[in-house]
Structure 1
Amino acid sequence: MPPDAPEFSRPLALGRVGPEGRTETLEASAAEREILARRLGIPGIEALRATLRLSPDPDGAVRLAGRLEASVIQECVVTLDPVPQQVAEEFALRLLPAGREPADGPDDPDEIVAEGDVADLGEVVTEQLALALDPYPRAPEADLPAAARDEATGAFAALAALRGKG
């Protein structure tokens, strides 16, 4: 695999979507999951599967509605022990033909510009998985140190004291 190639590549030409739309089911192999876990900085990805419904928009873009399911292993932020987690996430976005500028309004859907009118659906799924990961995974028995929990002496006590001054 070339060094800049996506770890979980599933290219699809936007023109192949067709007027009736299409459904794609993507599943990462064990080798792809191993490489993706390294990229995402987590100990492991046990399973990664996505179902994507693609439908054409009159303006030449393609609407994508997807459901991502994954079993991942993350590290506990307190103990660094492995924490198995299930990810189930629904998402929607638009795939734009090459040369189109994505809209950036607060109510606009996320848009991804396809390179050469080919969208990499595997990369789309990878990005959605990265967004869905728990940013602070904790093992069930993990407890923060007392100093971190105590508002009077904890990490934010000095900041709280400064808030009262001035």
Structure 2
Amino acid sequence: MSTLARRAHVGRSIAGAIPFVRTNVLGTQVLLDAARDAGTSRFVHVSDHCRGIQLVLEKGRAGEVYNIGGGTELSNRDLTGRLLEACGAGWDMVRPVADRKGHDRRYSLDITKISEELGYAPQTGLDEGLAATVACYRDNRSWWEPLKAREVA
């Protein structure tokens, strides 16, 4: 499961996949599609993630474990396509690279328990969250460009 957020770490780990891809496309660099068609993830917007944490704090049972996730699960290739669309870029930005060894094929949480017991439901759709997140990165290059330059160097 990956949290979708503005000002997320601009790294190359799976947690940083969306920011890294987004800044590559916005910076007109070649996009690296490491996972190609392999793997799926379930994404949750940071506002839903925080709402879920608050719900657990207020209504959860002590000692229980609650998975907080999003309602959208898609392949890494589908995510790449949605990011390209949100950034106004095409598949010509994609260059396949070898997948890393030991790469998990699925990042997903079952949110049935938190939904049924506490009434949790994600409220921000993936496309809406991607659009807002891409807009934030597009409008705040001064924040992420120095971070990315340090990490790539």
Scaled by the length of structure 2, the TM-score of the pair is: 0.27
Tell which has more relative contact order, 1 or 2 (C-alpha 8 A, sep 6+): 2
Judging by fraction of residues, say which structure has more helix: 2
| Greater C-alpha Rg | 1
Judging by fraction of residues, say which structure has more strand: 1
Scaled by the length of structure 1, the TM-score of the pair is: 0.25
